[in-house]
Amino acid sequence: MKPTEFKRRRSQLMKMMGKNTIAILPSASEIIRNRDAHFPFRQDSDFLYLTGFNEPDAVMVLMPGRKHGEYILFCREKDPEQETWNGRRAGQEGAIETYGADDSFPIDDIDDILPGLLEGTDSIYNVMGRYPDFDKRLIGWVSHIKEQSRAGLHVPSEFVALDYLLHDMRLYKSREELRLMRKAAAINVRAHKRALKLCAPGKFEYQLAAEFDHEYRTHNAHHAYPAIVGGGANGCILHYTENTDELNDGELLLIDAGCEVEGYASDITRTFPVNGKYTNAQREVYDVVLAAHQAAVKKVKPGNHWNDPHNAAVRVITRGLVELKLLKGSVSKLIKERAYRKFYMHRTGHWLGLDVHDVGDYKVGDQWRLLEAGMVMTIEPGIYIPARSRGVHRKWWNIGIRIEDDVLVTRQGHEILTDALPRKATEIEALMAS
C-alpha cells in the first residue's frame, strides 16, 4: 500500500482530534510460543492502519499542529548483529524515509522523550486496556508531569478513547483497501475450489486444510484465522479447529477458511458432500440455508439497517425449519420466541477488514447502524443439527451447513467479493465432478 494512503488516514484522524491533543498507540509485540520460539508476528491492526509499519516494539505518536512534525515514530534502532540473527530493521532513517515519519527516536529513549511531548497537551487519545503494561507507563508519565505542575507544567486533563474515532474510520474502506480485499477474496476462492475438487471419502480433514496452506502461501497470503475443516458431526461445532478426522462417505464437509493480504482478510464458508452428491435430507436443509443467504444479501444496500440481513435470514430459516418439521408452530411466534436458535444460534454476519471480526459499532445509540457505501460485511446463515437432537429424526442428524460470502456495500446496492465461488448445490456438485 502506498505511503500516501497512511498519511491520508493520519491527517483525517488528527483533524478529528483537534488542537492541543496527542494520540499514542503502541505496536504489537512478539509472543513466545514455547521456550525461545515465537508465534509468527502479526501487527496490531490499528497500528498497521495508521503506519504500515510491520515491526514489533514501536510506538506511534500523533500531535496535530506540532511545528517540528506531527507524526513521530519510536522504534528499534538499526543493529547489524541482531539483524543478522532476526531480520532487518527500519531504524530511525527507515521510519522517516520509508514510512513517512516526521521524527523518529529509538524505542529505548521513550521514557526520556515522551513525557516532554505530553506536557502542554489537553487530551491524550489512547487505547487504554489493550496493552496494560504500556498503560502503566503512560499513567506514570502523566503522574510525573502532575508532580511538577507547581513549576508551571501543563498537565493533560483527560484520556480519550482513540478507538471511538479510529474504528469508525476503519469501517469505511478506501479504494486501496478494497483492492487488497478483492485480492484476498480471489486467493481464497481458488483455495476453496482446490479443496472442493480434491475432497473424497477416506481423506482426512487436515489433508484438505493443507490445500489452503499451499494456495495461500503460493500467493504470499496468510491465514486470517485458524481454518475450520469439519466433516460430519464436526460441522455442527461452530469453531471446530482440530481438523484431524477422516472424511466419511455420505457425510457433509463444512470448510470455513480465510486468508489475509497485507493484513486485509477474506472469510468464506462452503458446505459440500464428501462424495460429491448431496443426500435428499442434506439437500433440503442446504436449500433452506441458501435461500436465507440470498434473502440476506438482498438486504445489503445503503439505507438499510445492519440488522436487516439477519432478520431476513431468520425469517427464511424459521419458515424452512417449519416446512421440514424440525419446528412446529407459526413462523412469527417462533421468531418472537427465538425458537430457531436451537438450530441457528449465531448472527448472520460481521464487519470485515483488517480484522476478520472487524471493528466498528453495530448500533448508533439504541438504533441499528445504517449501511453505507464502503462498508464490508459477511453474510453467513447456517443450520446445525447435532446427532441425538431432541425430537429430531435421525435422518437429519449431523447435518451442519453454513454458506458465507464477503459483501461490499456499494452506492447502488452491493457487490459479493467472493461471488466466483459456487453456492448452488448443483454448481458445487458439478465442480466436484470436474
- Give the residue among 308, 47, 65 at the shortest CA–CA distance from 170: 47
Say how far apart CA 130 and CA 30 lie, in whole Å.
15
HSE-CB at 362 with a 13 A cutoff on CA atoms is 14
Give me the active site residues, please. 36, 239, 256, 267, 346, 350, 357, 380, 384, 402, 404
- Give phi and psi for 178, each to the nearest 5: -65, -30
N- to C-terminal Cα distance for the chain?
A: 37
Say how far apart CA 292 and CA 385 lie, in whole Å.
17
Asked if 273 contacts 252 with a C-beta cutoff of 8 angstroms, the reply is yes
In three-state secondary structure terms, 385 is strand
Say how far apart CA 79 and CA 83 lie, in whole Å.
6
Say how far apart CA 374 and CA 417 lie, in whole Å.
12
**C-alpha cell recorded at residue 66:** 506540532
Q: Rg for the chain (alpha carbons), in Å?
A: 25
- Give the residue among 54, 63, 49 at the shortest CA–CA distance from 18: 63
Q: Torsion-angle region of residue 388: left (phi > 0), alpha (psi -120 to 50) or beta?
A: left
Measured N-to-C along each axis, helices 132-147 and 110-118 cross at an angle, to the nearest 10 degrees, of 60
Asked if 248 contacts 398 with a C-beta cutoff of 8 angstroms, the reply is no
